[in-house]
Amino acid sequence: MPEIANNRKIYSLLEISSGISRAVSRAFPDYYWVKAEITKLNFYPQSGHCYPDLVEKHNGLIKAQIRANIWAGNYNKINQKFKTVTGEPLKDGLKILFLAKVGYHEHYGLALNILDIEPSFTLGEMAREKQLTVERLKQEGLFEENKKRKLPLLPKRIAIISVETSKGYSDFKNILENNAWHYRFSLSLFPALLQGDGAVRSIGEQLNAIAARRKEFDMVAIIRGGGGDVGLNAYDNYYLAKAVATCPLPVITGIGHSTNLTVVQMVAFANKITPTEAGNFLIQQFHNFAVRLENAKSKTIRNTLEILTFGKQHFSQLTKMFDVHTRNLFSHHKTQWIYLIKRVEQSGVRILGKANEQLINIALHLKYQPVQKMRQERQKLKNIQNLMAIYAEQSTQKANSRLRLLESKINLMKPENILKKGYSISTVDGKVLKSVVDIKQGDKMITKLYRGEIESIVEQKNKK
């Protein structure tokens, strides 16, 4: 009962909570089927209880939010049923249709007590979202984009998005590395989450990393083991499907045994369902090329044999034609040679006659020519002797004139002749005095004249 104080009713928190509980029970007396999205499952293994956080979104905005609970006794039964139908357990991000009782607990507050979940609704929601993704990609013109990429004749350099410990990756790798034909592949692993909420971001990041190194690879393979439809939910995501569609390299998928294709499988260059089938697809590319080589080899051999056969026949025909033409030419030229030989004989007789006449004339000419030649040469020698005598006489006269001129110049330069003209020569200690620098005060200087010498003592010198 409420207390009365100062004419006011005062309720305890428990009284209010109990009132809310009764009001909720009266307002929601039945069990209700409710659809919502699990944002966080909040399962506690120790107690076995589960406290999902539920929301309803419109255009990405949360319009309603409430907490629910699934008690341990119901959780195992509900989760097993869900897993049997969908192939995956309850987890974050799923849209579910569940049967619940609205309740309010004085200690835990308002909550929905979930008694059952309808798995088929979750599958239907996934299908609806998948269809929206497909329609959006088609409207944007991206749905067939990756299929336009060109796969090399021999796709050897493969970027693989998978998990190293995945059986699917192991199967794919074993197919390629241990093939019976010893085809060689270069495999580069780009590890990523393959399912769950983180798969979209993880696979998308690795696709971007591969795109940045596109020149190093021929194609991309997304490899994952088997799983139910819920496990493949991430592959219907618009953003992941768009990343695959716009990848600059052809993408091949091998992400499970599902017969219901995901959007990623639809937009990929090629979908091979299982990793083993994806590996065999690449092996087949090498087989196809090998077949082309074998066909080219057979065709080359066949064409070569045909060419050789035709060439042999043609050569045989040419040989026969050559033999006939050779005989004809030989016969024709033989006739010409006979005619030419006769002409040569006739011309030879004429030429020999003319040559004989020329030899007789030359002999007569040679008989008298030496005598005339000797007379001419003797006259030339006589003329040369006369010219040399005249030249020698002239040269001797010129030399005598030059000697007389030099003798007169030498006489003029003699010291006695210079002294005659009034010049004198001064010496100090036997050395000719050329400058006042070479003499000092008190030196004995001898001055030589044309006639006689003068001895003097230097008292003063003037540099001017």
What DSSP letter does each residue of 137-204 carry, written as one string?
Answer: HHHTT-TTTGGGS---SS--EEEEEE-TT-HHHHHHHHHHHT-TT----EEEEEE---SSHHHHHHHH
Alpha-helical segments (H) within 413-446: 415-420
**Does residue 260 surpass a pLDDT of 80?**
no
Give the integer Cα–Cα distance in Å for 122 and 178.
41
| Residue the block writes with tokens 């060109």 | 150
Q: State residue 230's pLDDT score.
A: 54
Q: What is the pLDDT of residue 187?
A: 97
Chain mean pLDDT for the chain: 87
Q: Are 231 and 87 in contact (CB under 8 A)?
A: yes
Residue 458's pLDDT is: 83
Distance CA 117, CA 35 (A): 10
Higher-pLDDT residue of 213 and 123 is: 213
At 214, the pLDDT band (50, 70, 90 cuts) reads very high
pLDDT at 463 over 80: no
**CATH number, domain 3-130:** 2.40.50.140
Domain segments of the chain: what residues? 3-130, 140-288, 417-457
Residue range 411-432, pLDDT digits in tens: 777 777 777 777 888 888 888 8
Separation between Cα atoms, residue 403 and residue 362, nearest integer Å? 60
Query: By three-state DSSP, how is residue 424 classified?
Result: coil
pLDDT grade for 330, boundaries at 50, 70 and 90: confident
Contact 258, 232 (CB under 8 A): yes
Please give the CATH number for the structural domain made up of 140-288.
Answer: 3.40.50.280
Q: Measure the CA–CA gap between 443 and 457, rounded to whole angstroms.
A: 6
Say what the pLDDT of residue 464 is.
Answer: 62
Residue carrying structure tokens 């030399």: 399
pLDDT at 283 > cutoff 90: yes
Residue 362 neighbours by CB distance under 10 Å: 11
Q: How much is the pTM?
A: 0.56
Q: What is the number of other CB atoms lying within 10 angstroms of the CB of residue 18? A: 14
* Dihedral sign for Cα atoms in the order 371, 372, 377, 379: positive
Q: What is the pLDDT of residue 257?
A: 60
Closest CA to 75 of 28, 37, 42, 26: 42
Per DSSP, which regions of 46-156 are E strands? 53-58, 61-69, 95-105, 109-118
DSSP 264-305: HHHHSSEE-SSHHHHHHHHHHHHHHHHHHHHHHHHHHHHHHH
Contact, 184 vs 157, CB < 8 A? no
pLDDT score recorded for residue 206 = 97
Distance of alpha carbon 309 from alpha carbon 317, whole angstroms: 12
Q: Tokens 């974050």 identify what position? A: 92
Amino acid identity, residue 400? Answer: N
What pLDDT score does 68 carry?
95
- Show Cβ contacts of residue 15 under 8 Å, excluding neighbours closer than 6 positions: 2
Q: Work out the average pLDDT over 378-382.
A: 83
**Average pLDDT of 157-167?**
94
Cα–Cα distance, 349 to 430 (Å, whole number): 105
- Which contacts (CB < 8 Å, 24+ apart) does range 418-421 have? 419/448, 419/449, 419/450, 420/450
Sign of the Cα pseudo-torsion (197, 200, 206, 212, in order): negative
- Name the residue with higher pLDDT: 440 or 135: 135
CA dist., res. 412 & res. 419, Å (int): 11
For residue 336, what is the enclosing H or E element? Answer: helix 275-412
Q: What percent of the chain has pLDDT over 70?
A: 96
User: Are 169 and 160 a contacting pair, CB within 8 Å?
Assistant: yes
The tokens for 230 are 């819920």
Share of the chain above pLDDT 90, in %: 41
